[in-house]
Amino acid sequence: MNPNYRPLFESFVFNSGVELKNRIVMAPMTNFSSNEDGTVSDAEVEYYARRSNGVGMVVTACTYVTPNGKGFPGEFAGDSDDMIPSLQRLAANIKEKGAKAVLQIFHGGRQVPPNLVPDGDVVSASAVASSENAGVEPRALTESEVEAIIRDFGQATRRAIEAGYDGVEIHGANGYLIQQFFSPHSNRREDRWGGDLEKRLTFPLAVVDEVKRVVAEHAKGPFLVGYRLSPEEAETPGITMSDTLRLVDALADKQLDYIHVSLMDFWSAPRRGADDSKSRIEWIQERVGHRVPVIGVGSIHTADDAIKALQTGIPLIALGREIIVEPDWVEKVAQGRESEIRTTLSKEDQERLVVPDPLWQAIINTPGWFPVV
């Protein structure tokens, strides 16, 4: 191994006591490939197993915690105890390869396609449509429904524990329901779940509290609780960097195992709410990195890119598209073969890369998403 890359291979211990063998995480990515009944498919299991040898931790694609939260076709379910055997199968295959398995738990809120949820009932914090789900105006959740969804996040966490996962990641990013409650764009409520910035924190923090309560009650050993967030929104009104710095302060108070910052580009600069002397992730690291570990992600392709990212003080680096294009990324760096890391794919590579058909079709047919040559 090139000695410059040794920091990538140092072990890491979270607050909960869960230990990773290295600093590389497989980022959560939707793969559209589960069975119609919400169970994990054989193709999905093989896809994850192929990528679980080298990384220290795998964060799965999001799993919906309640039937009206299903955000994608081919998304696997965590909304009933019937799903525990399916969840268990995925966790076992990831862990067998030596990585820690973390289940990402989520509700799509106003982003869900009506045809995927019971009675086409799309819900959110308020009746404000999303530009990404054109023509679909969500119904504002009642107070009792809000409380029920919080409990559903807790129940999905219990199922993750029973299925043998090493942790859960609360999906508060990418415009989904938890972010919808935090955002002044999608949350126009005037009850205890909305209003000023502090009130818009109520739902995200209530989910964290419920998940942590369930872990304390049910986990027999160390069990991770992480939180993923998107630092800004393009809309006005929308989440700004200053809002996010207040959110990460509140999350750090909850003694989470990590905060995972969802970015397309690790080095992207703030739009508003902080100056551009630092990248978004550097602002977050400076604010709370001494209190809670931060995971960075976004267009980190090479080992040099990963080392440069670690030098910001961020302790963990997630690879998303890179680990699809190059499943052996970690092993190649460890063996001094980093020059052999592939950074593009061709239309003939599906079988070699062990990618399920629905995900492969999305990769090939979405211009600009993946480097297809």
Active site residues per annotation:
176
Among 346, 335, 345, 330, which residue's Cα sits nearest to residue 23? 330
CA 156 to chain centre: 15
Contact 110, 130 (CB under 8 A): yes
Largest separation between any pair of C-alpha atoms in the chain: 58
Residues in the chain: 373
Backbone angles phi, psi at 280, to 5 degrees: -55, -45
3 state DSSP class of 264: coil
- Looking up tokens 């169970």 gives 39
Backbone angles phi, psi at 32, to 5 degrees: 60, 25
- Looking up tokens 């230990």 gives 19
Contact 254, 205 (CB under 8 A): yes
